[in-house]
Structure 1
Amino acid sequence: MTKQKKFLTCDGNQAAAHIAYMFSEVAAIYPITPSSTMAEYVDEWAAVGRKNIFGETVRVEEMQSEAGAAGALHGSLQAGALSTTFTASQGLLLMIPNMYKIAGELLPSVFHVSARALASHALSIFGDHQDVMAARQTGFAMLATGSVQEVMDLAGVAHLATIKSRIPFMHFFDGFRTSHEIQKIEALDNEDLAQFIDQDALTEFRKRALNPENPVARGTAQNPDIYFQAREACNPFYDAVPAIVEEYMEKLSTVTGRKYGLFDYYGAPDAERVIIAMGSVTEAIREAIDHLVEEGEKVGLVAVHLYRPFSAKHFLGAVPATAKRIAVLDRTKEPGATGEPLYLDVKDCFYGQENAPVIVGGRYGLSSKDTTPAQILSVYENLGLPEPKNHFTIGIVDDVTFTSLPKKEEI
């Protein structure tokens, strides 16, 4: 008998909190815009006794800063409790020291991040990817979602994959643009996802909990004789992550009927001009592609879901063999770098490849600057030029360093 679908009208934060509650025993929280409502939902559900997948009510602890929340979460993980937190922007930066420890100690956890601008020349509470990009070196796997439905679906993949792989995950989506966008989506419940938990991996995690009956030494100081070797010992765990995430994406599709890959391709099968991007901008890009394909243009999109570890094999498999020009869109700025992070990753994947496409990079959407299908048309138009502009911007008029592409009429 086919299970009846359940629909829910909610925003991205509620969708992420809904899944996080299912898989968590402890939530260590501290509010920061635009992530605060995720913690509020979890606190509210715990107060009325909602049960998680394990039949328990989540223990919610509000700390006095994001650094405290990350420290409490680190401790509860070492005690063998599945734990989560929710944050953004400067809050995520305060968690970075503990994130290195959590990843280095192979503790399964998911941080849900409504990605937001960082305070540089000025503070902004609005969305972009500056915060998550500032934490990409911590050793956390990074899973990006671009719509409220994707948040509901792939947040579960992050929780399932972290238990099996032992690698902590940062699940992120665009602040406000996705975190506060209200959509009617298909909801998942405990029964949908409980069946996929790797019980053996969960049992092993519980066994590794600190216990006075079975004392061990952790968090030691190491010297030059062994530190380097021990640091490299984590490699097999990271190598296994792409296959584990792909496995859970396939299992999820048996419940939802929606198929996801580490990298999803959309557009003409013989596309010559392709955009690489992640997050909510992929929705606008799909609209522009539909418009151009109707006019006979050979264009496409590769939407990135698993950003770290970055699987070059899966990425190259998603890009059409016909691609001649690629534009990589980053929602962050790294002054002084030769390019933004996703652009550099894509360039590296194609380095040394025979007949590699021309690759350019651009910035968009900082501090929730609107990114429209018309701006995406400018990107595809730029790719059609004999020498496409590199390190461009869209959505603004840069009359100082002249990085911006020409504005087009809205479609």
Structure 2
Amino acid sequence: GDRMLIANATGCSSIYGGNLPTTPYTVNRDGRGPAWSNSLFEDNAEFGLGMRLAADQLMAHAQTLVKEMAGEIGSDLATALIDAEQREEAGIRAQRQRVATLLEKLKGATQPRARELAVLAEWLIRRSVWIIGGDGWAYDIGYGGLDHVLALPYDVNVLVLDTEVYSNTGGQTSKATPIGAVAKFSAGGKATAKKDLAKLASDYGHVYVSTVAYGAKDTQTLRVFHEAESFDGPSLIVAYSPCIAHGVDMLYNLRQQDAAVKSGHWPLFRFDPRRLEAGDNPFKLDSAAPSRPIREFMESETRFAMLTRSHPETAERLMAEAQKEADRRYQGYLERARHSGVVTPDSDPGRNPE
């Protein structure tokens, strides 16, 4: 977070993320913290890409100045600043020390290049760009921009907080809304399946992709964020996000996440292109085969259960379709995981205690 640039799509996350005087973001003892900004709803992916390009351009310019001033600051320091490995936190800390040394050497300098480098020196530290938004943005209105950004090779991280509905505007159906759910514009129950955004992104082959539900597997969630941040390229994390629009007591948020995974409503997987370099299957399935019928999960949430009261026959039909869809999706994931014999549904990264 001390070098994080956040592009936040308008939605629930921008309300609790940017509604002063309170903020979920803070600074560390050195006064460093995330830089947060909100543009529009429909262009958040492009907005975040602009942050990445700007940060890269500033770093490149700072590196050029370092090369030009190698004689004044020392060739060893100049080489270390330019060639620094910054994919892990240890490398970031080492680069911070080098930048501090550089700034000490530039103190009192009067020549224009030295003064400019002193201003830009902090940009020699790699920035972590995060593009954050909900499913209404990622699956629907901003999908074209998101797809464009993921198709490019730039180092951006995308976090989709998937509530499976347009939460901030009152609970309208999105393409993330699952079959059988009641929402505005699908009062009779959504008749079609949820778009599989994570699978679509993984089909590119060069994008790090994962689905997470920290209430089901918290250590898998932590591992995913670490892997996504360290990946040199675009990454996409789709996070299951229970919402009041689901018609559940949010006191039981973690329990609902666990139920979503165990019923097959929300399978967990990781797709890491780096495994291809080692000749391994990039796809790893992190959740076990569904251990309970999806009906049990659906009946625990008002968004599904209310249809059993208003249109019981339709509810029965859509629940049966939901079970078929969950089975089909899990089997498809299982086939991808078995492609090179990599099947890890019950192995680490950790399953939460029962």
TM range (shorter): under 0.3
- TM-score normalised per structure 2: 0.26
Q: Which has the higher strand share?
A: 1
Compare CA radii of gyration and give the structure with the larger one.
Answer: 2
Q: Which has the higher helix share?
A: 2
- TM-score normalised per structure 1: 0.23
